[in-house]
Structure formats: structure tokens, C-alpha cells
Amino acid sequence: MLRRLVLFAIVLLTCGSLYAQPSSAAWKRAEHLRHGINASEWLAQSSDYSPQRLRSYTTLDDIARMQSMGFDHVRLSVDPAVFNCRGPWEQCETVQVLDEVVAKALAVGLAVILDLHPNGEYKRQLASNDGAVDKFAGLWNQIATHYAKSDPERVFFEILNEPEVGVYRWAGIQQRLVGAIRRDAPAHTIIVTCGEFSNPDDLVRMPQIADDNYIVNFHYYNPHIFTHQGASWGEGYWASLREVPFPGTPELVAAAIAKQSDEFARWKLTQYGLEHWDAQHVAGEIQFAAEWAKRRNVPLTCNEFGVYRNYSNSQDRLRWLEAVRTALEQNKIGWTMWDYQGGFGVVSKANGTTTEDVGVLRALGLRSH
């Protein structure tokens, strides 16, 4: 199986021009994904998928709030564990919760991305175990069958979040999964991505897709030293970062360097300042992604971007969000901010009260200045 997947990926690379370009339906449906929000740490990224928690962490009222804030779609990150049901899905309470969320979103006018968003071990298995690929294809068969009757204009199937699988192996796996979905949901638009972490540098190595109804997705968090300052995951030096500014110049970064005792972090901060990260730098990278999509003649979306809010300066965070959002819109790329109420959130919840971050909404162009 591994050899077949790799050989198939090579064929895609060398013969990509033989495959159909996305149809007018895919381009038209991409217009439903102009400005969206991720609903994270709810149906994925948790250790508790009990119906009780799923109905209380984020609620149907939150879905309505997303629409009222001005978003036009919601990306639902879903862990495969949500589908671990002993009986038919129609009788499975966790799937029923997901169905209720999808129905609510559609009822209030939001398009929906169903994003398979498993943990790291699940993806490590896909990277090395062909049996895990078989199981994943079977899961997508079931999902496609279950949601085949949903509105294909507004319900999108996203194969996998940030695959963390090598480019060529992932190309073969992804093509197989497209086929698994197409067998039972021929009309729905599929969201595909490149291997590894869906970054722009991964995007440009992405082979062609043998399908005519898909949208290509990438994620944008550059520079991570700013967007992930203080984060406890990812690169080890991120955790000690504080007061990393945006824009980044040697003069502005000097204060953060002076407060650092970790020499590696000092080095990375020095590099950051010398790279002169500002709105123009961001715009140049996003323009490159847009030009890549134009050369490939494929619709492109950016369905993750954001700044970890716990340790970043709020005004610098807003500057970065506005810079990214503006660059995406200038290049006619739809976007989905990460995220609704998590560490990158647009709302905060406490004591039964939900508070919207008006500054973030303004940076996203959803509130007037």
C-alpha cells in the first residue's frame, strides 16, 4: 500500500496537467467562505466528548452569535472520536450534537466546514501505518454518507487539518480520501490541503488533485515567534517569550531581547528584528500564495490565522490581525480566523457571560472604526 501511495503521488506530480481544474461550482461556493470563525476546543482538541460537555462548552446560542458578529461561515473541528459510536449514528448522541450544530448554523445563514481534526498520534499513524489510512478512508465513507443529503452549496468537507504527513505520501492518501468521499457525496465541495502543517511553504509543493470540485486551504501564522509567544506547544523557546512586538524591527524587539535569559530565544528574537516583519512583509507572503493559486487556477482559502492572546500585546495583536485580513481580502482569498473562544479567541466566557472583543472584530473588518 505504501509503495502504491508514493507512486500515485509521483504520477500526480508529473502528470498534474491531465487532471480537471475545479469547476465553476467550486469557485462559486468559495464565495460562501469569505470571513469565518473556527469553533475550536469543542468537538476536537479535548479529552471529554461527552454529550453533556458538547452541549455546554459552546452552544447553539454561540452559533447564532457568530452570525450576528458578521461571520458568514463556521469551521467545525471534529475529532474522529466523536464518531466512535456502538450503534447507528442516528442513535449516537455525540453525532446528534454535531447534527444539531450543523442544522443551527445553516438555519441562521452560516456555511459549515466539517474539518476532521484528530490528535497528533492519529496523524502519526496515518504517516506510517497503511491500516490507519484504510480506517480513515472508511470513516470518510461514513461521514459522506451521513451528510450526503445536506446542502452541497453550504456544507464543505475538509479532509484533514494539518496532516503532519510528508508531501508525497500525503498526496497519495488525500487522493484516495477524495475518492472515498466522492463515492457517497458526489455533489459536495471538498477542502484539500498540502502535506505537513499547511503552511505557505508546504502549499507550494502541493501536487495536483484529480477532482473538479475542491478548494485548496492553507494556514497563516507567520511569524510564529510573534503569533505563538508564550505557547506551551510547538517550539520549546516559545514558552518563555513575552512582549514580542509587531511590527518587528531591531529597535522595537530590543526590549524583549533584554528580558530574555534563554540564549536561543535571544537569537531567534534578534533574527525576528532583522527580518523587519510588518504589514508589507505579511502582504508579500500572502500575495505569493495568491499568485500560486492563480497559476494553478484553483480557489484558495486561509482557514486558520490568529495570535495567541494570553501573552501578546493587545494592540500589536490587532495590528497583525488587520494586516493579515487585509492582505487576504486584497488578494480575494477567503478567511477563517482561529478562533472563537480559545487562546486565540474573539470572545471570552466567564460566569455565564460571553463578552465579544470589539477590537478584534474591528481588525477583522466586521465592525466600523
Q: Which fold has domain 2-230+279-363?
A: TIM Barrel (3.20.20)
Separation of alpha carbons 226 and 179, rounded Å: 39
- The Cα–Cα gap between 84 and 215 comes to 28
| CA-based torsion, 12, 137, 159, 130: positive or negative | negative
The continuous run of DSSP H or E covering 114 comes out as: strand 111-116
Rg (CA), the chain: 20
Find out whether 8 and 174 touch, Cβ atoms under 8 Å: no
Phi-psi region of 297 (alpha: psi -120 to 50; beta: other; left: phi over 0): left
pLDDT in tens, the chain (369 residues): 555 554 444 444 433 434 678 999 999 999 999 999 999 999 999 999 999 999 999 999 999 999 999 999 999 999 999 999 998 999 999 999 999 999 999 999 999 999 999 999 999 999 999 999 999 999 999 999 999 999 999 999 999 999 999 999 999 999 999 999 999 999 999 999 999 999 999 999 999 999 999 999 999 999 999 999 999 999 999 999 999 999 999 999 999 999 999 999 999 999 999 999 999 999 999 999 999 999 999 999 999 999 999 999 999 999 999 999 999 999 999 999 999 999 999 999 999 999 999 999 999 999 875
C-alpha grid cell, residue 161:
487539518
Q: Would you say 285 and 279 are in contact if contact means Cβ atoms under 8 Å apart?
A: no
pTM: 0.94
